[in-house]
């Protein structure tokens, strides 16, 4: 192909070189960063908010806010129905769940343990909570938790997988894509008021999809927080290195109590881990119904009061000495705007005095 | 050595002296016959090579399926799956032979290797050409990246370097006699499984975690990946370089194939010396002259390619037309054996297996005592693949040179889950014993023996938040899964620098309760530094009763008072 350069060649090459010069200069100009910061700058975190899942329940003021049902594990259907029915004798679960709702149920599946050891939510309690939701006409029921150990193993070993599959609900095993930054409060946390969390990665995808959230937590002893019940159960929605929160465990749990406004909480005291919590490991660590001595299920629209009741009546300890209950009450009082449907009473006797606590023996 | 020749035209020059009987058919030396070897590819649908390709594809598909199925969820849901997952490792005669040399037994499923070994006595190295998934991978890569311009048979000529695999085999088997099992380094199936688990799957999961679930980590994945990629790349230089030059399993089957009844046989009268038979020859076994039986992979490409139908697969053909043995140099073989003989003493002299045992080398539960472990582990990484928490990692330098790619627990990545023995269930060689949950946790009939201890946790008081920094924590106590907890806390009152008096809970380890599961180390919030609590091999139960003080890694005489483990079976 040797030959003389044609005029066309010269023009083509010349134009190409000029064009390439322009591209290089433009690219350099657009990408130029004189301070070396732009490439490293913190990416604007889109911090998300959680809605109040209790807001559209329209809970009547005179209805009981806490309802306990005691009965044998073999009769769990009646026990769970009685506990939830106690909150609204007319409509039962239909008070909370409407047709077409997407319900997120958050059991405690934190450990790879057989259900008999009481470290995780009893599968039968979960079964009947799911069934009641289904009867109320849900569109989807999601069950999720972010355990300490391998999620697949935890869900399988605790018997939760089996029950969820049998009841036609869906398990959502947490994966990286499900997590997102969730804001707890708009302002910087004030450590003086016991506030620690500003925003933190949480298992957001199911929370975003759900229209209702139900917590189903076992009642357990906890080595550091003294007890793990419904408020501590939200800890299982935190991502990343959440173990650092143990440096301020009560502050963190009460922050979560402020953040999460569930539709309903169900405390599973079919067997209460009295010692060696939160992992347990021996049957002698647990006791059916704790101090009460009889398997119990508590349903409540006030997670703080529910925890206080369980702490006193099931674990047999003094709720006034459980710091996170008082902190949760104070934070909810301080931060919840007037008129928002939110309960946060750490003194369950105040409810009892007003006749807002019911108890049935099934 | 044969000179390179063009493959598309028949050669008219006389054969080298080694090709006895090849020249008589080349009387009309100047007739250049137009060779249409492609014709033979068009005859019939189920030609033997088509069948072979189907079998290879099915076998490779099975391998991929087994590799993908080897996960904790699958094994947990369907324990019977364990019977199948290690199939390719269990049919590997080299694993069976080498572990038989080290342990004098053939472990469990390794007896299946007979279904490969026995047919080799009759058919030669059919495994390499038909079954071996790693061979198929090399075959495929060689085909995909073959040079399309230079259609030369030179790439498939026999090379003296093909002797190397026999030297490797000899060195490894001699080393095995002295108790160090190294075949796993180059055994094609161990290599393939390790590459899949240690490099390919984690690498695929890295950019697309949503597709493959949680990202898996693998220590030293770069080396495992580089070895895989490098060996695959060698196909561009020498087709099936690994199979021809390095593979110790191929060498073993090559030695064994000297007994074979059948082999590819050339009918000298019909042969025109066109060399087409070498064009797609997988084994570089010289089908155009005297067949090197030990190199032939029985791929049948030569029979397919021969335009004169001068090649056939024959029973008891004429011995004059073949080279039966491996033709290796005896001096080099002896030298290789000497290298294998010295390997053991050289690596053991470091004392890393006994007196100077690395404190951070924690083997998975069910691991047998270290020296027995090194007699059994073939570095296949099946345990690492199946582990639900990713805690099992192939060792790079942590277990010394001898323990390269043997499994170790890295508690910064995961922890040993209590109700799980998946790693033990998939181990093909018994380096990890098949233990039950009861045995692992010391329940039921094993109450007196107690649980399997992987090691013991130790608290670093300078790093620990309550100990060294007066900051509340005790996450380790919270997660400790034994009952009663092996980690407990003491209440101490301290006066801080500003005069504030705080009550702190300071963690302590109960040496008799700790089983070394590593959950405390994994969950410890001190992550930017070494963890404030860490597990070492101290007190590991697998070496506890060993009479040799160099091999007994326990400061305790006996675990004091076995706790009252009277729980019934707690499985679902």
Q: Is the pLDDT of residue B303 over 50?
A: yes
Q: In a mutagenesis test of the A interface, which of B386, B413, B441, B475 is the best target, namely the one with the most A β-carbons within 10 Å?
A: B475
Q: Is the pLDDT of residue B141 over 50?
A: yes
Closest partner residue to B479 (CB to CB) among A116, A153, A279 is A279
State the pLDDT at residue B563.
44
Q: What is the pLDDT of residues A33-63, one digit of tens each?
A: 877 766 555 544 578 889 999 988 888 888 9
Whether residue B260 contacts residue B293, with contact meaning beta carbons closer than 8 Å, is answered with yes
Q: Is the pLDDT of residue A210 over 80?
A: yes
Q: What is the pLDDT of residues B378-434, one digit of tens each?
A: 999 999 999 999 999 999 999 989 999 999 999 999 999 999 999 999 999 999 999
Q: What is the pLDDT of residues A247-284, one digit of tens each?
A: 889 999 999 999 999 999 999 999 999 999 899 988 99
Q: Is the pLDDT of residue B81 over 60?
A: yes
Would you state the structure tokens that stand for residue A243, as one six-digit string?
């173990």
CB contact under 8 A, B570 and A278: no
Report helix, strand or coil for B39: helix
Q: Which residue has the tokens 């400061």?
A: B555
Give the percent of chain B with pLDDT over 90: 63
User: B11 falls in which pLDDT band (50, 70, 90)?
Assistant: very low
ipTM: 0.84
Mean pLDDT of A306-319: 94
| Chain B residues with beta carbon closer than 8 angstroms to that of A281 | 481-483
Report helix, strand or coil for A267: strand
Whether residue B224 contacts residue B232, with contact meaning beta carbons closer than 8 Å, is answered with no
CB contact under 8 A, A223 and B72: no
> Does residue B510 belong to the interface with chain A, where contact is any CB pair within 8 Å?
no
Q: How far is A166 from chain B (nearest CA, A)?
A: 15
CB contact under 8 A, A157 and B419: yes
CB contact under 8 A, B73 and A222: no
Length of chain A: 362
State the pLDDT at residue A244.
85
Q: What is the pLDDT of residues B425-442, one digit of tens each?
A: 999 999 999 999 999 999
| Chain A residues with beta carbon closer than 8 angstroms to that of B572 | 114-115, 157, 159
Q: Where are the alpha helices (DSSP H) in chain A?
A: 7-31, 76-85, 123-135, 151-157, 160-166, 204-209, 230-233, 249-259, 303-313, 323-335, 348-353
State the pLDDT at residue A29.
92
**What is the rounded CA–CA span in Å between residue A313 and residue A105?**
25
Q: What is the pLDDT of residues A85-111, one digit of tens each?
A: 999 998 999 999 999 999 999 999 999
CA distances from B281 to B155, B299, B314 (A): 9, 8, 18
Interior/surface letters A225-256, b for 16+ CB within 10 angstroms, e for the rest: bbbbbbbbbbbbbbbeebbbbbbbbbbbbbbb
Whether residue A356 contacts residue A65, with contact meaning beta carbons closer than 8 Å, is answered with yes
**What is the rounded CA–CA span in Å between residue B127 and residue B140?**
16
More confident site: B58 or B204: B58
Q: In a mutagenesis test of the A interface, which of B73, B477, B500, B526 is the best target, namely the one with the most A β-carbons within 10 Å?
A: B73
CB contact under 8 A, A149 and B417: yes
**What is the rounded CA–CA span in Å between residue A87 and residue A93?**
9
Which residue in chain B is spatially nearest to A158 when comparing CA positions?
B572
Closest partner residue to A153 (CB to CB) among B420, B471, B482 is B420
Residue A287: alpha-carbon gap to chain centroid? 26
Q: What is the pLDDT of residues A147-157, one digit of tens each?
A: 988 888 899 99
Number of other CB atoms surrounding residue B185 within 10 Å = 17
Mean pLDDT of B354-361: 92
Q: In a mutagenesis test of the B interface, which of A146, A179, A223 is the best target, namely the one with the most B β-carbons within 10 Å?
A: A223
More confident site: A342 or B231: B231
CB contact under 8 A, B525 and A243: yes
Cα Rg for chain B, rounded, in angstroms? 29
More confident site: A178 or B2: A178
Q: How far is B214 from chain A (nearest CA, A)?
A: 6
Q: Which residue has the tokens 């220590």?
A: B219
Whether residue B168 contacts residue B251, with contact meaning beta carbons closer than 8 Å, is answered with yes
State the pLDDT at residue B4.
41
CB contact under 8 A, B567 and A279: no
Q: Virtual CA dihedral for B487, B490, B494, B496, nearest 10 degrees?
A: 20
Chains A and B form CB pairs within 8 A to the count of: 108
Whether residue B317 contacts residue B265, with contact meaning beta carbons closer than 8 Å, is answered with yes
| Chain B residues with beta carbon closer than 8 angstroms to that of A222 | 478
> Does residue B475 belong to the interface with chain A, where contact is any CB pair within 8 Å?
yes
Closest partner residue to B389 (CB to CB) among A116, A149, A249 is A149
A161 phi, psi to nearest 5 deg: -55, -50
Q: What is the pLDDT of residues B208-256, one digit of tens each?
A: 766 666 678 998 899 999 999 999 999 998 999 999 999 999 999 999 9
State the pLDDT at residue B570.
42
pTM of the model: 0.85
Which residue in chain B is spatially nearest to A172 when comparing CA positions?
B213
3-state secondary structure B270-303: CCCCCCHHHCCCCCCCCCCCCEEHHHCCCCCHHH
């Amino acid at each position: 192909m040797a030959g003389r350069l044609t005029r066309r060649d010269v023009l083509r090459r010349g134009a190409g070189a000029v064009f390439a010069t322009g591209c290089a200069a433009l690219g350099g100009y657009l990408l130029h960063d004189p301070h070396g910061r732009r490439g490293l700058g913190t990416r604007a975190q889109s911090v998300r908010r959680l809605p109040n899942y209790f807001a559209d329940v329209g809970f009547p003021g005179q209805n009981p806010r806490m309802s306990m049902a005691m009965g044998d594990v073999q009769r769990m259907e009646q026990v769970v129905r009685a506990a939830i029915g106690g909150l609204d004798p007319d409509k039962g679960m239909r008070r909370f769940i409407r047709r077409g709702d997407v319900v997120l149920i958050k059991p405690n599946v934190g450990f790879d343990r057989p259900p008999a050891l009481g470290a995780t939510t009893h599968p039968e309690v979960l079964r009947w909570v799911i069934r009641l939701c289904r009867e109320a006409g849900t569109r989807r029921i999601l069950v999720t938790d972010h355990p300490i150990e391998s999620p697949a193993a935890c869900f399988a070993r605790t018997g939760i997988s089996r029950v969820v599959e049998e009841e036609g609900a869906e398990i959502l095993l947490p994966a990286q894509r499900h997590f997102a930054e969730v804001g707890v409060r708009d302002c910087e946390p004030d450590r003086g008021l016991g506030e620690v969390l500003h925003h933190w990665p949480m298992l957001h995808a199911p929370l975003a999809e759900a229209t209702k959230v139900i917590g189903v937590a076992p009642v357990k002893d906890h080595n550091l927080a003294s007890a793990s019940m419904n408020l501590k159960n939200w800890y299982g929605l935190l991502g990343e290195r959440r173990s650092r929160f143990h440096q301020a465990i009560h502050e963190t749990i009460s922050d979560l109590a402020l953040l999460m406004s569930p539709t309903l909480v169900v405390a599973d005291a079919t067997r209460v881990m009295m010692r060696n919590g939160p992992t347990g490991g021996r049957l002698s660590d647990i006791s059916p119904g704790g101090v009460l001595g009889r398997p119990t299920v508590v349903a409540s629209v006030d997670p703080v009061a529910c925890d206080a009741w369980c702490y006193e009546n099931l674990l047999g300890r003094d709720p006034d000495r459980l710091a996170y209950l008082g902190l949760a009450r104070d934070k909810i009082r301080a931060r919840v705007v007037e008129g928002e449907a939110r309960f946060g009473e750490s003194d369950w006797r105040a409810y009892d005095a007003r006749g807002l606590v019911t108890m049935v023996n099934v | 050595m044969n000179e390179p020749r063009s493959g598309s035209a028949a050669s008219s020059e006389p054969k080298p002296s080694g090709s006895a009987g090849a020249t008589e058919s080349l009387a009309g030396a100047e007739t250049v016959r137009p060779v249409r070897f492609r014709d033979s590819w068009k005859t019939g649908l189920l030609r033997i090579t088509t069948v072979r390709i189907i079998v290879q594809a099915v076998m490779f598909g099975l391998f991929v399926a087994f590799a993908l199925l080897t996960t904790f969820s699958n094994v947990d849901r369907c324990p019977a799956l364990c019977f199948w997952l290690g199939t390719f490792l269990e049919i590997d005669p080299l694993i069976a032979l080498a572990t038989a040399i080290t342990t004098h037994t053939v472990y469990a499923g390794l007896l299946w290797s007979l279904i490969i070994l026995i047919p080799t006595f009759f058919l030669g190295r059919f495994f390499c050409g038909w079954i071996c998934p790693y061979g198929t991978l090399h075959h495929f890569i060689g085909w995909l990246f073959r040079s399309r311009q230079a259609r030369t048979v030179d790439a498939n000529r026999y090379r003296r370097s093909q002797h190397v695999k026999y030297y490797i085999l000899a060195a490894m088997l001699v080393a095995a006699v002295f108790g160090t099992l190294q075949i796993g380094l180059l055994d094609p199936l161990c290599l393939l499984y390790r590459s899949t688990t240690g490099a390919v799957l984690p690498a695929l999961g890295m950019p697309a975690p949503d597709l493959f679930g949680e990202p898996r980590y693998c220590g030293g994945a770069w080396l495992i990946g580089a070895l895989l990629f490098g060996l695959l790349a060698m196909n561009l230089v020498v087709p099936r370089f690994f199979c021809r030059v390095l593979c110790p399993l191929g060498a073993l089957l090559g030695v064994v194939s000297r007994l074979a009844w059948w082999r590819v046989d050339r009918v000298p009268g019909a042969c025109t010396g066109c060399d087409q038979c070498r064009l797609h020859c997988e084994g570089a076994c010289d089908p155009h002259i005297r067949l090197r039986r030990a190199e032939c992979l029985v791929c049948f490409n030569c029979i397919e390619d021969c335009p004169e139908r001068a090649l056939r697969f024959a029973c008891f053909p004429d011995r004059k037309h073949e080279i039966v043995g491996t033709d290796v140099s005896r001096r080099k073989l002896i030298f290789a054996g000497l290298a294998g003989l010295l390997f053991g003493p050289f690596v053991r002299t470091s004392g890393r297996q006994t007196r100077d045992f690395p404190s951070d080398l924690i083997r998975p539960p069910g691991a047998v005592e270290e020296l027995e472990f090194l007699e059994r582990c073939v570095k296949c990484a099946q345990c690492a693949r199946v582990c639900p928490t990713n805690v099992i990692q192939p060792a790079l330098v942590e277990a010394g040179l001898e323990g390269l790619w043997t499994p170790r627990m890295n508690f910064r990545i995961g922890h040993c889950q209590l109700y799980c023995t998946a790693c033990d269930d998939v181990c093909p060689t018994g380096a990890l014993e098949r233990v039950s949950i009861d045995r692992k946790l010391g329940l039921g009939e094993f109450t007196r023996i107690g649980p399997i201890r992987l090691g013991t946790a130790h608290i670093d008081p300078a790093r620990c938040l309550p100990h060294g920094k007066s900051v509340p924590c005790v996450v380790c106590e919270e997660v400790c899964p034994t009952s009663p907890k092996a980690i407990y806390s003491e209440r101490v009152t301290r006066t801080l620098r500003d005069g504030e008096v705080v009550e702190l809970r300071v963690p302590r380890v109960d040496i008799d309760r700790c089983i070394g599961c590593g959950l405390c180390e994994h969950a410890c919030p001190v992550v930017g530094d070494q963890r404030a609590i860490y597990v070492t091999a101290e007190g590991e139960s697998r070496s506890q009763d060993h009479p040799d003080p160099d091999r007994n890694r326990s400061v305790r005489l006996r675990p004091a008072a076995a706790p009252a483990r009277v729980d019934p079976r707690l499985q679902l």
